[in-house]
């Protein structure tokens, strides 16, 4: 794909810098320092790292060639210029010149100080990160990693259900969920445990007393393989007819949406299916520009980031086998609060597979 991108833009190099998961996806190498991955139309496949990371990069990365800053003459330039940024920029410029670069491509978050220097020597074009597009379709190995994190979420959620028999505080329950996951090998932050009328704000993480229902949204990543998953259930704890009716509607909307997911369906078809069901049941949706009811997209991609491509909304993106994303309809009314049900699915040729399979309606009223 990168060769096609370079050809399309008549460029000789695409440069990916460290600092986000696109770098890790491309190189399979995690590094806390500045590093650069060069892909060239001439076959260049080069990772440039600080000297202290050279040996580890050669062992762990999947890149064809690894060079250190010393290899490229960085420290000689630093002695002369006494400016780390200028020395780095000129080191990369000289490398590109030796490989015949006339035009280079960089992603939108590429360091500005490097672009400024590059523009003195090359044509520079900022393009949408091609690795973001590539990451939208997962390999079976990646799917297994997301499935692993999904199983961990289910274990944590079942732990939370047991705790709800005695823990009725949002902050305490969140802490217990996140500690459980950490001890299990996963990292969760800002887990949503939201109750009462304030649960009408979809991203309110929740504080204070757990009331008649609670929305639990868990989205950790593995500390070992770094892949996320995402899962939400609304737990009914006391009688509230409006909340229960909303939850039943959301479950039905999600069920219908999941039933149509397969290769070749568009993202907007899935989103509009959710809106159709909810509107038919008398609820407002974002499609009609309402500020209450169903007020967000139907889903988002999940992988090395908890939010990535594809977006399941009013867009024409065509679903491909291997895409992994959430299906998470919700309803939110300030008068009663909010409900949401969320699962992660993987698109297959003739349907989809739910990776977070678990009962949709959780009712603990009779178990207290």
CATH number (domain holding residue 60): 3.40.350.10
Give Cβ neighbours of residue 83 (< 8 Å, ≥ 6 apart).
none
For residues 162 and 36, membership in a common domain is answered with no
Average pLDDT over residues 300-329: 98
C-alpha–C-alpha distance, residues 201 and 262, integer Å: 31
For residues 46 and 161, membership in a common domain is answered with no
In terms of residue numbers, what domain contains 177? 140-367
Q: pLDDT band for position 293 (50/70/90)?
A: very high
Categorise residue 322: left if φ over 0, alpha if ψ from -120 to 50, beta otherwise. Answer: left
**HSE (CB half, 13 Å, CA atoms) of 51?**
7
Q: What are the pLDDT digits (tens) for 319-360?
A: 999 999 999 999 999 999 999 999 999 999 999 999 999 999
pLDDT over 90, % of the chain = 98
- Name the domain count of the chain: 2
CATH for 151? 3.90.230.10
Which sign does the torsion angle of CA 101, 107, 113, 119 carry?
Answer: positive
For residues 173 and 88, membership in a common domain is answered with no
Which strand (E) or helix (H) includes residue 86? helix 84-98
For residues 200 and 116, membership in a common domain is answered with no
Q: Which of 100, 135, 170 is the last residue of a domain?
A: 135
Q: Taking CA 341 as the corner, what is the angle to CA 290 and CA 255, rounded to the nearest 5 degrees?
A: 95
For residues 114 and 209, membership in a common domain is answered with no
Q: Which of 135, 158, 178 is the last residue of a domain?
A: 135
Q: What are the pLDDT digits (tens) for 220-258?
A: 999 999 999 999 999 999 999 999 999 999 999 999 999
Q: Is the pLDDT of residue 367 over 60?
A: no
C-alpha–C-alpha distance, residues 182 and 153, integer Å: 11
Q: Is the pLDDT of residue 167 over 70?
A: yes
**What are the strands, taking DSSP E only, across 183-255?**
186-187, 192-195, 213-218, 221-222, 231-236
Q: What are the pLDDT digits (tens) for 187-217?
A: 999 999 999 999 999 999 999 999 999 999 9
Q: pLDDT band for position 368 (50/70/90)?
A: very low
Q: Which of 135, 168, 196 is the last residue of a domain?
A: 135
Determine the distance from the C-alpha atom of residue 234 to the mean position of all C-alpha atoms in its chain, rounded to a whole number. Answer: 22
Contact, 89 vs 17, CB < 8 A? Answer: no
Helix axes 74-81, 84-98, angle to 10 degrees: 140
What local confidence, expressed as pLDDT, does residue 366 receive? Answer: 65
What local confidence, expressed as pLDDT, does residue 289 receive? Answer: 87
C-alpha–C-alpha distance, residues 195 and 212, integer Å: 7
Q: Is the pLDDT of residue 51 over 80?
A: yes
What number of other Cβ atoms are within 10 A of residue 201's Cβ? 16
For residues 120 and 149, membership in a common domain is answered with no
pTM of the shown model: 0.94
C-alpha–C-alpha distance, residues 127 and 16, integer Å: 11
Q: What are the pLDDT digits (tens) for 74-123?
A: 999 999 999 999 999 999 999 999 999 999 999 999 999 999 999 999 99
Give Cβ neighbours of residue 332 (< 8 Å, ≥ 6 apart).
199, 200, 201, 202, 292, 293, 294, 295, 338, 339
For residues 65 and 129, membership in a common domain is answered with yes
Contact, 173 vs 217, CB < 8 A? Answer: no
**Which among 181, 338, 173, 349 is positioned nearest to 263, based on CA atoms?**
349
**HSE (CB half, 13 Å, CA atoms) of 173?**
31
Q: For all residues of the chain together, what is the average pLDDT?
A: 97
For residues 113 and 190, membership in a common domain is answered with no
Contact, 219 vs 228, CB < 8 A? Answer: yes
For residues 167 and 269, membership in a common domain is answered with yes
**Which among 208, 197, 196 is positioned nearest to 169, based on CA atoms?**
208
SS3 at position 280? helix
For residues 106 and 149, membership in a common domain is answered with no
Q: What are phi and psi of 103, to 5 degrees?
A: -140, 135
Q: What are the pLDDT digits (tens) for 249-270?
A: 999 999 999 999 999 999 999 9
Q: Is the pLDDT of residue 1 over 90?
A: no
For residues 288 and 323, membership in a common domain is answered with yes
For residues 229 and 187, membership in a common domain is answered with yes
pLDDT over 70, % of the chain = 99
Which strand (E) or helix (H) includes residue 338? strand 337-340
């Amino acid at each position: 794909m990168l060769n096609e991108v370079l050809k399309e833009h008549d460029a000789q190099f695409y440069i990916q810098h460290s600092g986000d998961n696109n770098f890790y996806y491309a190189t399979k190498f995690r590094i806390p320092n500045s590093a650069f991955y060069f892909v060239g139309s001439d076959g260049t496949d080069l990772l440039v790292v600080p000297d202290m990371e050279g040996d580890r990069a050669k062992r762990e990365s999947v890149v064809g060639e690894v060079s250190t800053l010393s290899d490229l003459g960085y420290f000689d330039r630093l002695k002369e210029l006494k400016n780390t940024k200028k020395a780095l920029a000129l080191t990369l410029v000289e490398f590109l010149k030796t490989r015949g670069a006339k035009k280079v491509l960089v992603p939108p978050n590429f360091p500005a100080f490097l672009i400024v220097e590059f523009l003195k020597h090359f044509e520079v074009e900022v393009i949408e990160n091609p690795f973001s597009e590539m990451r939208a379709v997962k390999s079976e190995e990646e799917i297994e990693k997301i499935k692993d994190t999904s199983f961990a979420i289910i274990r944590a959620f079942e732990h939370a259900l047991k705790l709800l028999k005695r823990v009725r505080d949002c902050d305490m329950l969140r802490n217990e969920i996140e500690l459980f996951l950490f001890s299990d090998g996963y990292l969760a932050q800002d887990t949503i445990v939201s109750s009462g009328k304030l649960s009408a704000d979809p991203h309110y993480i929740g504080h204070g007393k757990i009331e008649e229902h609670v929305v639990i949204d868990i989205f950790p990543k593995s500390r070992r393989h770094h892949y996320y998953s995402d899962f939400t259930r609304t737990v009914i704890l006391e009688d509230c007819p409006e909340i229960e009716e909303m939850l039943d509607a959301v479950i039905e909307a999600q069920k219908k949406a999941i039933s149509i997911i397969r290769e070749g369906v568009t993202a907007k078809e899935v989103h509009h299916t959710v809106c159709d069901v909810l509107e038919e049941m008398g609820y407002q949706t974002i499609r009609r520009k309402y500020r209450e009811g169903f007020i967000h997209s139907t889903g988002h991609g999940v992988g090395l980031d908890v939010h990535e491509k594809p977006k399941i909304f009013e867009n024409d993106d065509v679903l491909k086998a291997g895409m992994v994303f959430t299906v998470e309809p919700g309803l939110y009314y300030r008068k009663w609060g909010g409900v949401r049900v969320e699962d992660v699915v993987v698109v297959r040729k003739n349907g989809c597979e739910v990776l977070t399979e678990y009962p949709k309606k959780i009712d603990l009223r009779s178990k207290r």
